[in-house]
Structure 1
Amino acid sequence: MQNILVILDKPKHEQIALERALELAEKSGAKLHLVSFVYEPVVSIPLLSGSVLNVSDQIQNERKKWLQELQSEHSLPAGSTAEVIWHHDIPYWTLDYLAANDCDLVVKTAQKQFGRGGFGSIDWRMIESVPAPLWLAVSTHWVKRDRIVGALDPAIDNPLHVELNQRVLAVGGTLSALVGAELEAVACVPTHNEVADLDEFREQAGALLQAIDTVIADSGVECKKTHFVTGKPAVEVNRVVDRNKARAILVGRGVRKGPKGFLLGNTAERILGRANTDVLIVP
């Protein structure tokens, strides 16, 4: 990992994304590019824009001063940079930046509060379109353990799903090694309890678990444990993550054909919507 883009929180907020990025940079030696966004919507109204031009300069200058102070408070890796961006659309700017610059990871604080579930519209747009792994950080009230859980798709007869599982495992292996965390996997079969209790289903589920273990073994990534569960994936996957107090959950961004090609699959969307910890979306 060499380059990390960090989308900073506003000055009045806790800099959760920066904390995550600094930890990763310390372990990997990556350079950080810190970005702080400012914008005044009034400038887009023709009859009012002239009256706020000086104010916009003042806003940017104040933010630049704050950014300099922030840099002085933290030991940034050598070669790291920082800038204030005047832009109204964070996802749009991020896509342009990634198209012009090599970047291994984007780190941003999630627009959600613990216990409420769901992400803000900016997060969802980034989740659906950012071509680099995206780490969305949250602040929770529990003490996280050094454990990362990768959500795997049990439909391993589909080559696209197998490839996505391999990418999730590869990113999970890299990150867990960097932060000194154990990597675990969870695969959930969406079925009712009545079906899960059938002897025939249990026999076939055993074969599926072995097949998933084979996928993990083929990835070459060390996975401490595989959780094989049944039920509603959004509930059961997050139950595994919460019960083990994992510091992050990895979810692959599924592939759809046609106009919805950049959207997550429904299952992944539900898992993310109920997540109570950091999430990392793997494209």
Structure 2
Amino acid sequence: MNRSILVIVGDQKHDRFSLEKAQYFAGHLDASIDVVRFLSSIDTSNKQLCETAVAQARADLEQDSLAVLGSSSQVDCHVIADSDIASWVVNACKQKHFDLVVKTGHRTENLFHTPTDWQLIRQLDCPILIACDHKWRSKQVLMAAVDVSTQARKQALNSLILQWTALLSAAFSCVPYVVYSIPIAKPLLELDIVEKNDYLKSKKPAVEKQLAKLLGDCELAHANTHITAGPPEKTLAHVANELKADVVIMGCVRRKGVKGFLLGNTAEKVLHHLRTDILIVEACD
């Protein structure tokens, strides 16, 4: 199967983190790569100035791509003079049907500004890797976060998460960790209404059975498992740190309109705390 990856690099010269992460995926998955850099602050009304800046940026981008990815006919470079990164990427993915988008993560969110990362998470039809600025180790540690809920929507997400987990664990020759966080509302913990360890102990046997069945159905019975309890946006980041994970795979439900603005989702909340790469697969609400 021919796969394709879209890599979004920063607007600064020699921003190579997303290129380096994409190289891991492309090499193991035999995928072609489109690399794009956006010039968001350029004055597009001055046509000559714009064309000169785009030409120079393209030369720099080709140099960076060559240094990281090597000379290959499967790499195409693009420079786009546009500040609306999310819209351009979403349209590009619809036209070419990319299998994966890779970009370096940014933590600039606030109540009145939805950053590009969030917009892409909510709008893309393909998985997205939000990359951090750390290099992967020679032996990658892969962590997948699942939900053992019986809801059809959750089961569909689990299937997508574990498909990618199986694919990447085979490609990287590593045994994945599959993690489930038993949810506990934060106020219950803060007010000592629920004691975390006791709650985990009482729920863990049933969860272990559900998790074993889930992994058996997906032919991942060999995976390591880890069960914790608490607010997932914090517990998942804590487990990822303990495992020294290079990549965390998780799902999110794409919410639209006011509902999405007010509620967000677990994947977006995890981005506040996670300091590793996160591969997000999606389903519509």
- Give the TM-score of the pair, scaled to structure 2: 0.83
Contact between 1:112 and 1:120, CA under 8 Å: does it hold in 2? no
Tell me the distance in 1 between the aligned counterparts of 2:59 and 2:255: 44
What is the Cα deviation at residue 139 of structure 1?
1.4
Aligned-partner residue type, residue 276 of structure 1:
R
Moved more, 12-21 or 129-138: 12-21
5+ long unaligned stretches in structure 1: 44-48
- 7 and 198 in structure 1: CA distance in 2 versus 1, 3 angstrom threshold: closer
Return the match for 1:167 from 160, 173, 178: 160
- Percent identity among equivalent residues? 26
- Give the counterpart of 1:58 among 45, 52, 59: 52
Question: Hey, what's the Cα distance between the residues in 1 that align with 2:89 and 2:245?
Answer: 28
Q: Give 1:263 shift.
A: 9.3
One-letter amino acid of the structure 2 residue matched with residue 108 of structure 1: K
Q: What are the superposed Cα offsets for residues 126-149 of structure 1, whole Å, 9 maximum, x if unpaired?
A: 111111110011113895851111
1:275 aligns with 274
8 Å contact from structure 2 (residues 129, 277) kept in 1:
yes
Aligned residues: 270
Q: Aligned partners of 1:168 and 1:262: how far apart in 2? A: 24
Number of the residue aligned with 2:16: 15
Of residues 136, 140, 145, the one that matches 1:146 is: 140
Distance across 2 between alignment mates of 1:255 and 1:89 = 20
Aligned AA (1:189) = I
Deviations 1:93-125 (A, max 9, x none): 011111111211111111249xx9xx9701111
**RMSD between aligned residues:** 2.9
Asked if 2 retains the 8 angstrom alpha-carbon contact of 1:36 and 1:85, the reply is: yes
Deviation at 1:188, TM superposition (A): 0.7
* Contact 1:256-1:263 within 8 A present in 2 as well: no
Note closer, same or farther for the CA distance 1:12–1:179 as it changes in structure 2 (3 Å cut).
same
> What does 1:203-214 align with in structure 2 at a 5 Å threshold?
203-214=202-213
What is the one-letter code of the residue matched to 1:272?
L
Quote the Cα distance in structure 1 between the aligned partners of 2:55 and 2:214: 52
1:187 Cα deviation after fit: 0.6
Q: Which runs of 5+ in 2 are unaligned?
A: none
In structure 1, C-alpha distance between the alignment counterparts of 2:159 and 2:254, rounded to whole Å: 14
Deviations 1:14-54 (A, max 9, x none): 301111111222222111111121244544xxxxx3xx332
Q: Report the Cα offset of residue 92 of structure 1.
A: 0.3
- Mapped partners of 2:136, 2:97: distance in 1: 35
Call closer, same or farther: CA 1:2–1:141 in 2, change over 3 Å.
closer
Pair 78,13 (structure 1): closer, same or farther in 2 beyond 3 Å: closer
Change (3 A) 1:269 1:79: closer
Residues 222 and 66 from structure 1, CA distance in 2 versus in 1: closer, same or farther, beyond 3 angstroms?
Answer: farther
Q: Which residue is 1:46 aligned to?
A: none
Partner of residue 127, structure 1: 121
Q: Is the 8 A contact 1:145 1:246 kept in 2?
A: no
Quick one: distance in 2 between partners of 1:196 and 1:40?
49
**TM-score w.r.t. structure 1 length?**
0.84
